[in-house]
């Protein structure tokens, strides 16, 4: 259904010296810097698959999605969605796809939801009978009935997202791109949305490409994940595989009494554990990652307690979340080192 | 006081950051000046004076009035938007007077507008467009006082209209309507002496002529001596009454926010 | 294909009208304000003509006629194509333009159809009244043919406004928001309210052949004014409208292409 070969996207960024002089100088000769947002990506997604597409911010996720939807033309490489090259036949491609882009609404802001759907019916040329049937189904599953008469601007975030999803699936598209469909929603709505996506897939064989930061979404919806980092695919495989591959990974978060910047890994465990970078928000936090094949959690905790006064600790188990955190962590560390070299 | 000076200063920086709009504005004013010049040149092609005004006097009036009109509107739009999007409730909790803050920001805006826009452009107009200096240094001085009053009146009138945003929705329409009424009655398009008698009588009782017509008429010598002082007196009257009216309406509006939640 | 777009436009319109009627006060306020604005301009001309008989040989009603055509033509643009103003700050900057690109219809069509501007009706109303007032005072006898030509001229005038705004709005694809430029260029149309003969030759040529605002009012009006000397040039108005629309649309497509390759 989706075939991507050696896909690349480079951006040219005009470099400008600061200040007025820089502005004038840039009028005459511009210096460009090429940023490779996506580097030689390959992927092959079959009809009916539900794939989680994950990566840190700026890793190249949305650039890829934009190329798949035809909004962006690739620098080189090949994209085919349902046999169509999206950026060449954008409108043709558009009638077979659906999309939800996070917080940006696809619906018409000022008019009631039902009217929005009516318009979409005509835009996508959905036959009346099919439209009625689909809408009825969606209204039941997503509990849309009370929302249909309300203009989109008056809906809450969760209500809006439910309507949004219905709009994306309304014309029974072959592929649906979901970008952060559950961001900022409460648990009950998340559960409903996940159930809906699964049901659509089971019923119509819709191919789903899901990008999210919520690992719960991934674990419940997707059979397969693709992880992208710094423009390259660093993992592509089933969730089972990644679990067994990294299943022995453990992460323990230590809350120290003292600030963590003076923290040094104790000698005894230095060879077997690794410090993960943490956010600056909590200066007392230290996260250690290790494989429980080589060293047990108890041993790590014991050693840490001997050397530092630990206020609190949390053990993260081998959920996909931990694994991805670990993989991201490596990417982030690379970046940090990079920064230092510069 | 200090914080309001700071607001004015920040506003100047904000203005300086939008250089695209600055150039668009400058260019548009130049275009307007060109249209005005050729239009009046054509009007005067077969005569030497209208109501006692020769071409130089007329073009001087029109151009100065055009510049002055740019300064008689204020920050009404900001106030209206603050009211509309509900931020007014947050603003009211802050440790400053919202109106004073907006006026301070407006002042900053006007200063930078004057220095970067109106001043160089009016010098240009002086050189290329047969614009004359005030008839005497006294009328020049009087013009500055009167122009200041005019801007003051315009600023408060603008805020007054903005407070109506509590009761209406279409801000753009309100704004356009205000602009139209001002250019009608303020004498920004033509000197009021060209208007029919009845119209002049009506506008005598409205605050609009105090915004543009009075200062520019003093500049060009249409109003002089006792007449000029009387006109200045009416400006003082309008400035004080609008100020009081603004305070009253504002406190009513605030009550609406605090009691009914906006 | 065409019928599908007409149907779609009708549906978009219907929705837009519904929203408009939801805010009835707004509708009235908007229409009234634009009417007042237009009226201020006409009043100005009237005041000036109280003191002179002719402006460079043009009578009051001839000037009024030019003014009326400008207002009516502009109202077509104002009512149906007002969204052009918002391309940069409401579509491209917040990323809303992407939404149009993943729909199976022409993005320009979608973009234009997204909005119907109520306030423009005020302009249309005033424009028609002004034309109606001036018409009997022109030394031409009005037959069916003249009426037909007048309507064609007004529509052409409207589309010249559209083409010029579309052209400069398209720059937003490269620079995110070209609104200052669009606005400045639009201000050039102020020239078109008066007979172009009062201006310097350079300005006249510029407004005829570079940014053709002259064809939005003065030339089409001159067709109906005996002895204006521009009757021949006036007939070019529909041609100018078509050519500028084609050119602007070509430029829009270039812009769209640039946009999809940089995605900025």
| Assigned domain for A338 exists | no
Secondary structure, 3-state, chain C: CHHHHHHHHHHHHHHHHHHHHHCHHHHHHHHHHHHHHHHHHHHHHHHHHCCCCCECCECHHHHHHHHHHHHHHHHHHHHHCHHHHHHHHHHHCCCCHHHHHCCCCCHHHHHHHCCCCCCHHHHHHHHHHHHHHHHHHCCCCCCHHHHHHHHHHHHHHHHHHHHHHHHHHHCHHHHCCCHHHHHHHHHHHHHHHCCHHHCCHHHHHHHHHHCCHHHHCHHHHHHCCCCCCCHHHHCCHHHHHHHHHHHHHHHHHHHHHHHHHHCC
Higher confidence at residue B81 or residue C220? Answer: C220
- Which residue of A123, A149, A176 to mutate against C (max C Cβ within 10 Å)? A123
Higher confidence at residue C24 or residue C192? Answer: C192
Q: So what's the pLDDT on residue C177?
A: 81
Kindly report the nearest CA distance between residue C176 and chain B, in angstroms.
12
Contact assessment for residue B185 and residue B209, using Cβ atoms and an 8 Å cutoff: yes
d(CA B96, CA C79) in angstroms, rounded, equals 42
Percent of chain A with pLDDT over 90: 37
d(CA B36, CA C214) in angstroms, rounded, equals 17
Average pLDDT over all residues of chain B: 85
Question: How does residue A333 score in pLDDT terms, banded at 50, 70 and 90?
Answer: very low
For A19: left if phi > 0, alpha if psi spans -120 to 50, otherwise beta; the answer is left
Q: So what's the pLDDT on residue C29?
A: 81
Higher confidence at residue B9 or residue C121? Answer: C121
Q: Is the model's pLDDT at A334 over the cut of 50? A: no
Kindly report the nearest CA distance between residue A139 and chain C, in angstroms.
22
Displacement of CA C252 from its chain's centroid (Å): 18
State the residue for tokens 């309008």. Answer: B238
Kindly report the nearest CA distance between residue A177 and chain C, in angstroms.
11
H and E: helices and strands count for chain B: 12, 2
Q: So what's the pLDDT on residue A339?
A: 41
**Contacts with B194 from chain C: Cβ below 8 Å:** 47-48, 50-51
Higher confidence at residue C179 or residue A56? Answer: C179
Give the chains touching B; criterion: ≥3 Cβ pairs < 8 Å: C
- Which residue of B170, B174, B182, B212 to mutate against C (max C Cβ within 10 Å)? B170
| Assigned domain for A115 exists | yes
Q: So what's the pLDDT on residue A335?
A: 44
Q: So what's the pLDDT on residue A336?
A: 43
Q: So what's the pLDDT on residue A176?
A: 95
Residues 50-79 of chain C whose Cβ lies under 8 A from any Cβ of chain B: 50-52, 54-56
- Residues C196-213 have pLDDT tens digits of 999 999 999 999 999 999
Q: So what's the pLDDT on residue A202?
A: 93
A55 and A123 housed in the same domain:
yes
Q: So what's the pLDDT on residue C8?
A: 93
**Contacts with A101 from chain C: Cβ below 8 Å:** 95, 98-99
Within 13 Å of residue C211, how many CA atoms lie on the same side as its CB? 19
Phi, psi of C172 (to 5 degrees): -60, -25
- Average pLDDT score over residue span B182-202: 88
Listed residue (B83, B262, B260, B74) closest to B171, CA to CA: B83
Contact assessment for residue A57 and residue A135, using Cβ atoms and an 8 Å cutoff: no
Please return the burial class of C28, using the count of CB atoms within 10 Å of its CB with bins 0-12, 13-18 and 19+.
Answer: middle
State the residue for tokens 């001159």. Answer: C222
Q: What is the count of structural domains for chain A?
A: 2
B194 and C30 in contact by Cβ < 8 A? no
Q: Determine contact: A170 vs chain C, CB below 8 A.
A: no
Q: So what's the pLDDT on residue C131?
A: 94
CA dist C90 → A243, C77, C94 (Å): 44, 19, 6
Domain around C63 = 2-262
**Contacts with A88 from chain C: Cβ below 8 Å:** none
Question: How does residue B17 score in pLDDT terms, banded at 50, 70 and 90?
Answer: low
Q: Is the model's pLDDT at C245 over the cut of 90? A: yes
Q: So what's the pLDDT on residue A17?
A: 63
- Average pLDDT score over residue span C137-166: 93
Question: How does residue A102 score in pLDDT terms, banded at 50, 70 and 90?
Answer: confident
- Average pLDDT score over residue span A196-212: 93
Kindly report the nearest CA distance between residue C257 and chain B, in angstroms.
25
3-state helix, strand, coil in chain A (%, to 5): 40, 30, 30
Show the tokens assigned to A74: 């690739």
B to C CB pairs, distance under 8 Å = 102
A214 and A271 housed in the same domain:
no
Q: Determine contact: C205 vs chain A, CB below 8 A.
A: no
Question: How does residue B96 score in pLDDT terms, banded at 50, 70 and 90?
Answer: confident
Q: Which of A113-117, A213-217, B58-62, C65-69 has the lowest mean pLDDT?
A: A213-217
Q: In this complex, which of C40, C55, C181 lies closest to B43 when CB atoms are compared?
A: C55
Higher confidence at residue B261 or residue A212? Answer: A212
Nearest CA in chain A to C101: A71
Q: Is the model's pLDDT at A70 over the cut of 80? A: yes
Q: Please, which residues bridge with residue A38 across strands? A: A9
Displacement of CA B107 from its chain's centroid (Å): 12
Question: How does residue C34 score in pLDDT terms, banded at 50, 70 and 90?
Answer: confident
Q: Which of A15-29, A148-162, A323-337, C62-76 has the lowest mean pLDDT?
A: A323-337
Higher confidence at residue A44 or residue C193? Answer: A44
For A295: left if phi > 0, alpha if psi spans -120 to 50, otherwise beta; the answer is beta
User: Sign of the CA dihedral B89, B92, B94, B98?
Assistant: positive
Q: Is the model's pLDDT at A27 over the cut of 60? A: no
Q: In this complex, which of C23, C32, C198 lies closest to B42 when CB atoms are compared?
A: C198
A227 and A310 housed in the same domain:
no
A55 and A163 housed in the same domain:
yes
A51 and A110 housed in the same domain:
yes
Kindly report the nearest CA distance between residue C182 and chain A, in angstroms.
21
Q: Is the model's pLDDT at C70 over the cut of 90? A: yes
- Which of A242, A274, A305 represents a domain boundary (last residue)? A242
Domain around A308 = 248-317
CATH number for the domain spanning A151: value is: 3.40.50.300
Q: Is the model's pLDDT at A138 over the cut of 90? A: yes
| Assigned domain for A339 exists | no
Question: How does residue C230 score in pLDDT terms, banded at 50, 70 and 90?
Answer: confident
Q: So what's the pLDDT on residue A74?
A: 92
- Which of A242, A270, A297 represents a domain boundary (last residue)? A242
Phi, psi of C183 (to 5 degrees): -65, -45
Give alpha helix (H) positions in chain A.
19-28, 61-69, 90-94, 113-123, 128-142, 157-169, 187-204, 215-221, 239-246, 297-307, 320-341
Q: Determine contact: C206 vs chain B, CB below 8 A.
A: no
Average pLDDT over all residues of chain C: 90
Question: How does residue A317 score in pLDDT terms, banded at 50, 70 and 90?
Answer: low
Higher confidence at residue C191 or residue C83? Answer: C83
Helix (H, G, I), strand (E, B), or coil: what is residue B78?
helix
Q: Is the model's pLDDT at A338 over the cut of 50? A: no
| Assigned domain for A266 exists | yes
Contact assessment for residue C64 and residue C224, using Cβ atoms and an 8 Å cutoff: no
Q: Is the model's pLDDT at B262 over the cut of 60? A: no
Q: Please, which residues bridge with residue C58 across strands? A: C55
**Contacts with A63 from chain C: Cβ below 8 Å:** 263
Show the tokens assigned to A280: 């600056």
Q: Please, which residues bridge with residue A79 across strands? A: A4
Q: Determine contact: A26 vs chain C, CB below 8 A.
A: no
d(CA B81, CA B166) in angstroms, rounded, equals 10
- Residues B132-185 have pLDDT tens digits of 888 788 888 999 999 999 999 999 898 888 888 777 766 777 777 888 888 888
A13 and A89 housed in the same domain:
yes
A188 and A94 housed in the same domain:
yes
A91 and C96 in contact by Cβ < 8 A? no
**Contacts with B208 from chain C: Cβ below 8 Å:** none
Q: What is the count of structural domains for chain C?
A: 1
Q: Determine contact: C103 vs chain A, CB below 8 A.
A: yes
B21 and C50 in contact by Cβ < 8 A? no
Listed residue (A296, A322, A301, A321) closest to A312, CA to CA: A301
Q: Is the model's pLDDT at C240 over the cut of 80? A: yes
A93 and A237 housed in the same domain:
yes
Percent of chain C with pLDDT over 70: 99
Q: So what's the pLDDT on residue A26?
A: 57
Sheet holding A97-101, edge to edge: A97-101, A175-179, A207-211, A50-54, A224-229, A232-238
- Average pLDDT score over residue span A305-314: 87
Helix (H) or strand (E) holding B145: helix B137-163
Q: Which of A55-64, B84-93, C144-153 has the lowest mean pLDDT?
A: B84-93
Q: Determine contact: A122 vs chain C, CB below 8 A.
A: yes
H and E: helices and strands count for chain A: 11, 13
Contact assessment for residue B115 and residue B205, using Cβ atoms and an 8 Å cutoff: no
d(CA A170, CA A132) in angstroms, rounded, equals 10
A142 and A224 housed in the same domain:
yes
Q: Which of A49-63, B79-93, C247-261 has the highest mean pLDDT?
A: C247-261
CA dist C86 → B212, C38, C90, C223 (Å): 33, 23, 5, 35
A216 and A110 housed in the same domain:
yes
**Contacts with C96 from chain A: Cβ below 8 Å:** 104
d(CA C197, CA C57) in angstroms, rounded, equals 10
Q: Is the model's pLDDT at A209 over the cut of 90? A: yes
- Average pLDDT score over residue span C43-50: 90
A263 and A137 housed in the same domain:
no
CATH number for the domain spanning A292: value is: 3.30.70.1710
Residues 6+ apart with CB under 8 A from C247: C163, C167
- Average pLDDT score over residue span A118-144: 93
Q: In this complex, which of A87, A95, A104 lies closest to C260 when CB atoms are compared?
A: A87
d(CA B64, CA B70) in angstroms, rounded, equals 10
Contact assessment for residue B177 and residue C29, using Cβ atoms and an 8 Å cutoff: yes
Please return the burial class of C23, using the count of CB atoms within 10 Å of its CB with bins 0-12, 13-18 and 19+.
Answer: middle
Q: Is the model's pLDDT at B42 over the cut of 80? A: yes
A128 and A36 housed in the same domain:
yes
Q: Is the model's pLDDT at A22 over the cut of 90? A: no
Q: So what's the pLDDT on residue C84?
A: 93
E strand map for chain B: 49-50, 53-54
Please return the burial class of C69, using the count of CB atoms within 10 Å of its CB with bins 0-12, 13-18 and 19+.
Answer: buried
Q: So what's the pLDDT on residue A341?
A: 38
Displacement of CA C10 from its chain's centroid (Å): 21
- Which of A207, A242, A277 represents a domain boundary (last residue)? A242
C263 and A72 in contact by Cβ < 8 A? yes
Average pLDDT over all residues of chain A: 84
């Amino acid at each position: 259904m989706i075939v991507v070969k050696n896909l690349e996207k480079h951006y040219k960024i005009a470099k400008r010296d600061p200040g007025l002089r820089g502005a004038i100088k840039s009028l005459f000769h511009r210096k460009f810097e090429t940023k490779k947002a996506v580097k030689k990506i390959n992927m092959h997604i079959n009809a009916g698959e539900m794939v989680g597409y994950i990566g840190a911010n700026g890793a190249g996720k949305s650039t890829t999605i934009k190329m798949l939807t035809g909004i962006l033309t690739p620098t080189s490489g090949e994209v085919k969605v349902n046999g169509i090259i999206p950026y060449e036949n954008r409108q043709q491609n558009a009638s077979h796809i659906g999309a939800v882009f996070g917080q940006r609404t696809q619906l018409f802001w000022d008019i009631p939801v039902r009217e929005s759907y009516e318009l979409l019916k005509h835009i996508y040329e959905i036959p009346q009978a099919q439209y009625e049937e689909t809408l009825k189904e969606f209204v039941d599953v997503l509990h849309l009935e009370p929302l249909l008469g309300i203009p989109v601007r008056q809906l809450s975030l969760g209500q809006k997202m439910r309507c949004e999803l219905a709009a994306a699936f309304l014309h029974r598209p072959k592929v649906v791109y979901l970008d952060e469909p559950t961001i900022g929603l409460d648990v009950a709505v998340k559960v409903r949305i996940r159930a809906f996506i699964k049901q659509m897939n089971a019923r119509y064989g819709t191919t789903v490409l899901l990008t999210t930061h919520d690992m719960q979404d991934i674990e419940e919806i997707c059979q397969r994940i693709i992880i992208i980092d710094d423009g390259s695919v660093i993992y592509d495989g089933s969730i089972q595989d990644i679990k067994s591959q990294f299943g022995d990974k453990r992460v323990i978060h230590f809350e120290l009494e003292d600030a963590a910047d003076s923290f040094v890994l104790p000698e005894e465990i230095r060879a077997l554990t690794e410090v993960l970078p943490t956010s600056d928000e909590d200066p007392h936090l230290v996260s250690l990652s290790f494989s429980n094949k080589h060293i047990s959690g108890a041993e790590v905790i014991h050693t840490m307690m001997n050397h530092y006064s630990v206020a609190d600790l949390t053990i993260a188990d081998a959920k996909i979340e931990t694994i991805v955190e670990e993989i991201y962590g490596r990417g982030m560390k690379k970046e940090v080192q990079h920064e230092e070299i510069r | 006081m200090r914080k309001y000076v700071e607001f004015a200063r920040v506003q100047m920086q904000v203005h300086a950051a939008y250089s695209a709009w600055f150039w668009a504005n400058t260019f548009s004013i130049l275009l307007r000046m060109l249209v005005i010049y050729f239009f009046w040149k054509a009007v005067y092609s077969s005569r030497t004076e209208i109501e006692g005004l020769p071409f130089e006097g007329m073009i001087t009036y029109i151009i100065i009035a055009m510049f002055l009109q740019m300064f008689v509107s204020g920050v009404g739009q900001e106030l209206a938007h603050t009211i509309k999007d509900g931020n007014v409730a947050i603003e009211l909790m802050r440790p400053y007077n919202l109106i004073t803050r907006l006026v301070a920001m407006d002042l900053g805006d006007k200063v930078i507008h004057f220095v970067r826009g109106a001043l160089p452009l009016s010098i240009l107009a002086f050189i290329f467009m047969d614009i004359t200096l005030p008839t005497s240094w006294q009328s020049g001085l009087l013009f500055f006082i009167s122009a200041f009053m005019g801007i003051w009146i315009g600023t408060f009138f603008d805020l007054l209209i903005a407070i109506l945003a509590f009761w209406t929705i279409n801000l753009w329409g309100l704004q356009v309507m205000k602009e139209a009424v001002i250019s009608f009655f303020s004498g920004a398009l033509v000197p009021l002496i060209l208007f029919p008698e009845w119209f002049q009588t009506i506008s005598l009782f409205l605050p609009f002529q105090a915004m543009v017509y009075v200062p520019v008429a003093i500049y060009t010598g249409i109003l002089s001596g006792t007449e000029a002082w009387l006109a200045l007196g009416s400006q003082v009257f309008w400035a004080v009454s609008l100020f009081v009216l603004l305070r009253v309406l504002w406190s009513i509006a605030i009550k609406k926010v605090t009691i009914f939640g906006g | 294909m065409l019928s599908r777009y007409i149907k779609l436009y009708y549906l978009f319109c219907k929705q837009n009208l519904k929203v408009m009627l939801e805010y009835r006060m707004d509708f009235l306020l908007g229409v009234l304000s634009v009417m007042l604005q237009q009226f201020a301009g006409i009043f100005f001309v009237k005041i000036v003509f109280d003191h002179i008989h002719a402006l460079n040989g043009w009578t009051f009603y001839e000037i009024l006629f030019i003014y009326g055509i400008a207002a009516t033509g502009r109202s077509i643009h104002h009512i149906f194509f007002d969204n052009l103003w918002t391309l940069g700050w409401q579509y491209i900057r917040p990323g809303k333009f992407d939404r149009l690109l993943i729909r199976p219809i022409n993005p320009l069509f979608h973009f234009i159809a997204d909005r119907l501007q109520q306030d423009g009706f005020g302009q249309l109303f005033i424009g028609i009244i002004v034309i109606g007032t001036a018409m009997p005072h022109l030394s031409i006898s009005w037959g069916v043919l003249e009426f037909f030509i007048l309507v064609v001229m007004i529509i052409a005038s409207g589309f010249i406004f559209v083409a010029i705004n579309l052209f400069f709005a398209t720059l937003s694809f490269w620079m995110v928001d070209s609104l200052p430029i669009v606005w400045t260029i639009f201000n050039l149309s102020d020239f078109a309210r008066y007979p172009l003969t009062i201006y310097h030759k350079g300005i006249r040529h510029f407004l005829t052949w570079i940014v053709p605002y002259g064809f939005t009012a003065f030339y089409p009006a001159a067709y109906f004014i005996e002895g204006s000397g521009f009757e021949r040039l006036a007939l070019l108005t529909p041609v100018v409208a078509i050519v500028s629309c084609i050119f602007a649309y070509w430029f829009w497509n270039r812009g769209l292409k640039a946009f999809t390759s940089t995605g900025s």
